[in-house]
Structure 1
Amino acid sequence: MLNIKSFLLASGLICALLAGTCFQLPAQNKGNHSPLTFKQGERIVFLGSSLFENELEKGYLEFAITSRWPDLDLTFRNLGWTGDDVFAEARSTFTTPPTPYQQLFQQIRSTHPDYVLIAYGGVESQKGEAGLGEFVKGLGAILDSVDALGAQSILLSTIPVKLAGNRENTITQNKNLRLYADAIAALASKRKKRYVDIYTPIDENTNALFLDNGIHLNEAGYRYLAQVLEQAFGWPSRGLTVTINAGESTANAPAKIVSSGPDKLVFSLEEPVLPFPATASGKPDAKAAVSVQVNGLKKGHYTLTENGRKLITASEADWAKGVVLDQETSQQQAAEVCGYIVKKNTLFFQQYRPRNRTYILGFRSYEQGNNKRDLDDMDPLIAQLEAQIKLHRKPVIKTYELNLQKGQ
């Protein structure tokens, strides 16, 4: 494998693997990057190791992007591969060719990307400072290849570990992970690529963001990571506080008063973007959800309903502080979209990484190669799920009713 690495890096064979010839590299922007935006029909690819493969079960990163652009038909493909490094060693098969490197670039090319989010370094960092030079060269080769396709690369740093065996080993691992994160940042600056430091915010977060193994992110970790990426991309917070004045029957935008009376106050609301789904505990992050603040209530408890469904009952003091809506329609809608994303990504995973690849696509395809049509048959199923994502990713107008008859 080392000979393959040296040959690919020295000869520029990567360009040939991707497209036969090297394309003219696009002009690079100078200075700080403006907020990230997308255009109709663009395709976004997640490329890296376990950070992205494990996200297949969550869907939050894709949700963060697709729900921000509900009117654009964006396509997402997750090429994360647990244990992978910048030389694609985890992608090796019994079939040679393709080599692991060739397979990596064939997979990238097959997605026709416009943007590639790249997250490597976690596996390579185990070699410490001694492996840093080789890692930078390998990552640079991937950037060359993505550039050759005319796509834009977005580099993500490594993430820290919470526990790696024992305290001493954890300290050493995090020192190396930070070292590699700095190297990624330096390469991004040199190549004028967008870079996102996800190491620092995850390291500074005191919530439980890791699985029991202390290495991989849990559901809350991926929710938080999605919010970190949104902030890094220059997008405003999803958090929205609706302020209602019960005495004057007024509301701030985007809420609108529908009707008011002595017994109830009715208002409508259409959020600009869906909130993140609720966590397993049912309590969404206030920074990523809708909160309702009601002023002018007398002492007592008041009930809010949504489209006729009882939503929450709280005291006048809690309403004045603001109550986070944790089970409203938008939360359910967001969870539904994430569910479609996970199902779609699972099908794509099975399509591009069939368990019996050697028998279907490899040197033993003479035995079961006719089953390749089963992989092709997944395309319309994936398209159907993408249609469902498109159908449900935009918030709907909801009607809320606040009962002004105070309860005990």
Structure 2
Amino acid sequence: MFLALSLLALTPSALPPFELKDDDRVVWIGNTLVEREQKYGFWETALLSKFAKQNVTVRNLGWSGDTVFGDARAGFDSPKQGYERLVSLALESKPTVIFVSYGTNESFEGPAGVAKFQKGLEKLLDALAPSKARVVLFSPLPFEKAKSLPDPTERNKVLQLYAQAVREVADSRGHRYADLFNLALAHETTEAGSHFTDNGMHLTEAGYEATIPNFMTSLGLSWAGEDPKKFDAARATIRRKNQLFFYRWRPQNETYLLGFRKHEQGKNAKEIVQFDPLVDHAEQELRAILTK
């Protein structure tokens, strides 16, 4: 499986390989693809293993169902407030690198929605510009083809329009474009019928693991694997770090802590910051594993 994927993972552009520098702070925003990655951690582990000598942190701000308009993040508030929350959280994280992954959910608007999506992506990047971070724009993944799922051919034709829109924005702004769409399609052609998603759309744990070479190649990076024992130890620590950070920025019962019912339990909001040292400790453990 991995051999087939790696052979198909051709360098997507003439750009030099993506590089992480010492003390880089990566902030990852996007939809379900991003949020699920913080749960499984395969892509993050591969990336940080590649730059093991650099002291790098990753903060995953993915949100299931998210779009460039931030609608899904609104909660009990207005869509406008959901968007403002997306931007403020990203900027508060003080990124030096921002990974941006959108287009899948927006594609259900069909070809007529491409211009709106592209305009929304431009607006989001303008809002993030004060960070002066290096930006990587990821294409959406195509829908998987499998016997138990509807034929995705027509849906992927539409999705490709959105992937092209992302590329155009990246080119016009001088940002790196990471092509997951065509790399994944190349895999699908060879491994037709394999189940790397649970519904044709969302990657499973096996899907993230199998697409490590695709993810790395989209950044212009090679991937020959890592010592399994070391990789598993790093991934376990990354998953724990991500879970702690998730509790930090998306605490349960947020409505009671910070929202319209904070008059009932708002006094407990002071405990949210107590996750910070726990996240920092997990980062230290990760550094020890990666540099061993």
Quote the offset at 1:177 in angstroms.
Answer: 0.9
Give me the whole-angstrom Cα distance separating, in 2, the residues matched to 1:238 and 1:171: 32
CA RMSD of aligned residues (A): 2.1
Give me the whole-angstrom Cα distance separating, in 2, the residues matched to 1:237 and 1:210: 19
CA contact (8 A) 2:256 2:263 kept: yes
CA contact (8 A) 2:144 2:197 kept: no
| 2:142 maps to 1:160 | yes
- Does the residue aligned with 2:211 lie in a helix, a strand or coil? helix
CA contact (8 A) 1:360 1:368 kept: yes
Give me the whole-angstrom Cα distance separating, in 2, the residues matched to 1:231 and 1:143: 24
Give me the whole-angstrom Cα distance separating, in 2, the residues matched to 1:41 and 1:203: 35
Give me the whole-angstrom Cα distance separating, in 2, the residues matched to 1:225 and 1:140: 28
| 2:47 maps to 1:71 | no
Quote the offset at 1:184 in angstroms.
Answer: 0.8
Quote the offset at 1:373 in angstroms.
Answer: 2.0
For 1:228, which of 203, 208, 214 is the aligned residue? Answer: 214
**In the alignment, what sits opposite 1:284?**
none
For 2:267, which of 367, 370, 385 is the aligned residue? Answer: 370
Structure 2, gaps ≥5 residues long: 1-12
Deviations for 1:285-312, whole angstroms, at most 9, x for unmatched residues?
xxxxxxxxxxxxxxxxxxxxxxxxxxxx
Decide which structure has greater helix share: 2
- Does the residue aligned with 2:287 lie in a helix, a strand or coil? helix
- Does the residue aligned with 1:222 lie in a helix, a strand or coil? helix
Give me the whole-angstrom Cα distance separating, in 2, the residues matched to 1:163 and 1:209: 9
Give me the whole-angstrom Cα distance separating, in 2, the residues matched to 1:362 and 1:98: 16
Quote the offset at 1:52 in angstroms.
Answer: 0.6
Give me the whole-angstrom Cα distance separating, in 1, the residues matched to 2:103 and 2:236: 29
**In the alignment, what sits opposite 1:380?**
277
Give the alignment's TM-score, normalised by structure 2: 0.88
For 1:62, which of 34, 44, 60 is the aligned residue? Answer: 44
Moved over 6 A (4+): none
Larger radius of gyration: 1
- Does the residue aligned with 2:137 lie in a helix, a strand or coil? strand
The number of equivalent residue pairs is: 275
Percent identity, please.
35
Give me the whole-angstrom Cα distance separating, in 2, the residues matched to 1:58 and 1:94: 28
**In the alignment, what sits opposite 1:356?**
253
Quote the offset at 1:216 in angstroms.
Answer: 1.2
Decide which structure has greater strand share: 1
For 1:213, which of 156, 180, 199 is the aligned residue? Answer: 199
CA contact (8 A) 1:45 1:115 kept: yes
**In the alignment, what sits opposite 1:342?**
239
Give me the whole-angstrom Cα distance separating, in 2, the residues matched to 1:363 and 1:96: 13
**In the alignment, what sits opposite 2:21?**
39
Give me the whole-angstrom Cα distance separating, in 2, the residues matched to 1:234 and 1:190: 20
Give me the whole-angstrom Cα distance separating, in 2, the residues matched to 1:110 and 1:226: 29
**In the alignment, what sits opposite 1:307?**
none
CA contact (8 A) 2:213 2:222 kept: no
**In the alignment, what sits opposite 1:142?**
124
Deviations for 1:6-52, whole angstroms, at most 9, x for unmatched residues?
xxxxxxxxxxxxxxxxxxxxxxxxx9432222222110011100111
Deviations for 1:226-279, whole angstroms, at most 9, x for unmatched residues?
32232233333325xxxxxxxxxxxxxxxxxxxxxxxxxxxxxxxxxxx0xxxx
Give the alignment's TM-score, normalised by structure 1: 0.64
For 1:114, which of 93, 96, 100 is the aligned residue? Answer: 96
For 2:166, which of 164, 176, 184 is the aligned residue? Answer: 184
CA contact (8 A) 1:95 1:358 kept: no
State the structure with bigger RCO (CA 8 A, min sep 6), 1 or 2: 2
Give me the whole-angstrom Cα distance separating, in 2, the residues matched to 1:121 and 1:103: 19
Give me the whole-angstrom Cα distance separating, in 1, the residues matched to 2:104 and 2:218: 21
**In the alignment, what sits opposite 1:331?**
228
Give me the whole-angstrom Cα distance separating, in 1, the residues matched to 2:181 and 2:129: 25
Give me the whole-angstrom Cα distance separating, in 1, the residues matched to 2:254 and 2:201: 29
Give me the whole-angstrom Cα distance separating, in 2, the residues matched to 1:51 and 1:146: 20
Letter of the 1:345 partner, please give it.
N
Quote the offset at 1:96 in angstroms.
Answer: 5.8
Letter of the 1:218 partner, please give it.
T
Quote the offset at 1:156 in angstroms.
Answer: 0.6
Give me the whole-angstrom Cα distance separating, in 2, the residues matched to 1:98 and 1:160: 29
Give me the whole-angstrom Cα distance separating, in 1, the residues matched to 2:251 and 2:100: 23
Give me the whole-angstrom Cα distance separating, in 2, the residues matched to 1:237 and 1:167: 32
Letter of the 1:355 partner, please give it.
Q
Give me the whole-angstrom Cα distance separating, in 2, the residues matched to 1:376 and 1:50: 25
CA contact (8 A) 2:170 2:177 kept: yes
Check 1:98–1:358 CA distance in 2 against 1; reply closer, same or farther (3 A cut).
farther
**In the alignment, what sits opposite 1:391?**
288
Quote the offset at 1:163 in angstroms.
Answer: 5.1
Quote the offset at 1:74 in angstroms.
Answer: 0.7
The range that moved more, 123-132 or 89-98, is 89-98
For 1:200, which of 172, 182, 186 is the aligned residue? Answer: 182
CA contact (8 A) 2:258 2:266 kept: yes
Letter of the 1:162 partner, please give it.
E
